[in-house]
């Protein structure tokens, strides 16, 4: 049986896992890759190719990295690859109808949630912020409406309350690659029918605004813990002390009910410090002081003379 010719679209590390799996699978032939343009990175802001582009070039694949895919010359070049299906994994651009119509089997997308829950830009972060106890990854057909295509398959997993978005991201990347190897092949071979999404379950994972990232100690310990572990994947959360930012990398809920002065440091140990919220107490375990690297609180406390009774936040 002939190989399935794939046009792959993706940009970050999440997509690299899927591309590696397709390249290693004898049932697929990746005939070209589309990714975002090189971007400035590092302290010197040197133009750096995306992780997907780096992998594609290492395999000597044709690569396009346009600022906008909706250009006639770009679309005509993609058409020359004569792919049968487009695989989209965290690409980062809206795909025009002309592109979607190029492929015999259309385009499919690996999305980091169990659709129709968390359509949109930040499904992993929003799932953890909401305290979801289960989540996963979905393979869907790409249509003009955002994340509204019919479903081809999903992988559902539990989300422990201490799991961060970075950890969940890595788990979902592997499960998404599984969907491409199994469900995508079944679909292309005619052994799997797409299922429409249930409109009753639709929620949206809107892009995270920087204004959301400062911790408001007037919220509950549980909600702040969920936000901190969810936003860790980007753009992160922070609080303030003495006019300087302290990013929060890892926390845990000590108490869910106790009330007191929000933002007040109520206990300091060798490894963590406890902060009173409007409802409950949140312990901070890993932080990043302004202009410094991430560190355990045990290291942070050596240079930061916190005292019980001090208050965090921009009050």
List pLDDT tens digits, range 34-58: 999 999 887 788 899 999 999 999 9
Q: Domain 211-303 sits in which CATH superfamily?
A: Formyl transferase, C-terminal domain (3.10.25.10)
SS3 annotation, the chain? CCCEEEEEEECCHHHHHHHHHHHHCCCEEEEEEECCCCEEECCCCEEECCHHHHHHHHCCCCEECCCCCCCHHHHHHHHHCCCCEEEEECCCCCCCHHHHCCCCCCEEEEECCCCCCCEECCHHHHHHHCCCCEEEEEEEECCCCCCCCCEEEEEEEECCCCCCHHHHHHHHHHHHHHHHHHHHHHHHCCCCCCECCCHHHCCEECCCCHHHCECCCCCEHHHHHHHHHHHCCCCCEEEEECCEEEEEEEEEEEECCCCCCCCEEEEECCCCEEEECCECEEEEEEEEECCCCCEEHHHHHHHCCCCCCCECCCC
Tokens of 173: 């990347």
Whether this prediction's pTM lies above 0.75 is answered by yes
Q: Beta strand pairing status for 281-289 and 244-255?
A: antiparallel
What is the reported pLDDT for 42? Answer: 79
Do residues 107 and 86 make contact, with C-beta atoms less than 8 angstroms apart? Answer: yes
The terminus-to-terminus CA distance of the chain in angstroms comes to: 67
What is the reported pLDDT for 1? Answer: 59
Please give the angle made by the CA atoms of 128, 131 and 133, to the nearest 5 degrees: 95
* CATH number attached to the domain at 4-204: 3.40.50.170
Extract the residue ranges of the chain whose pLDDT is less than 50: none
pLDDT tens for residues 159-210?
A: 999 999 999 999 999 999 999 999 999 999 999 999 999 999 999 999 999 9
* Residue from 37, 35, 38, 29 nearest 6 by CA: 29
Quote the CA–CA distance of 283 and 76 in Å, as a whole number. Answer: 55
Per-domain boundaries in the chain: 4-204, 211-303
What is the reported pLDDT for 256? Answer: 96
């Amino acid at each position: 049986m002939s190989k399935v010719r794939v046009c792959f679209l993706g940009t970050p590390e999440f997509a690299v896992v899927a591309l590696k799996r397709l390249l290693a699978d004898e049932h697929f032939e990746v005939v070209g890759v589309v990714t975002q343009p090189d971007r400035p990175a590092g302290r010197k802001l040197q133009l750096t190719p995306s992780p997907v582009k780096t992998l594609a070039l290492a395999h000597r694949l044709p690569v396009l990295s346009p600022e906008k895919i909706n250009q006639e010359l770009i679309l005509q070049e993609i058409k020359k690859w004569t792919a049968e299906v487009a695989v989209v994994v965290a690409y980062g651009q809206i795909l025009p109808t002309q592109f979607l119509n190029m492929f015999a089997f259309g385009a499919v997308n690996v999305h980091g949630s169990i659709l129709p829950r968390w359509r949109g830009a930040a499904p992993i972060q929003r799932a953890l912020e909401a305290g979801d106890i289960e989540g996963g990854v979905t393979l869907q057909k790409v249509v003009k409406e955002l994340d509204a295509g019919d479903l081809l398959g999903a992988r559902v997993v539990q989300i422990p309350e201490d799991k961060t978005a970075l950890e969940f991201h890595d788990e979902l990347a592997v499960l998404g690659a599984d969907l491409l190897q199994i469900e995508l092949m079944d679909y292309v071979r005619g052994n799997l029918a797409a299922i429409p999404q249930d409109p009753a379950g639709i929620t949206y994972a809107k892009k995270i605004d920087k204004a959301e990232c400062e911790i408001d100690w007037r919220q509950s310990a549980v909600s702040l813990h969920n936000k901190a572990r969810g936003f860790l994947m980007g753009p992160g959360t922070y609080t303030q002390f003495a006019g300087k930012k302290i990013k929060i990398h890892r926390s845990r809920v000590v108490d869910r009910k106790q009330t007191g002065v929000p933002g007040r440091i109520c206990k300091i140990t060798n490894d963590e410090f406890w902060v009173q919220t409007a409802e409950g107490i949140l312990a901070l375990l890993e932080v990043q002081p302004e202009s410094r690297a991430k560190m355990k609180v045990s290291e942070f406390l050596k240079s930061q003379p916190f005292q019980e009774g001090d208050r965090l936040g921009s009050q």
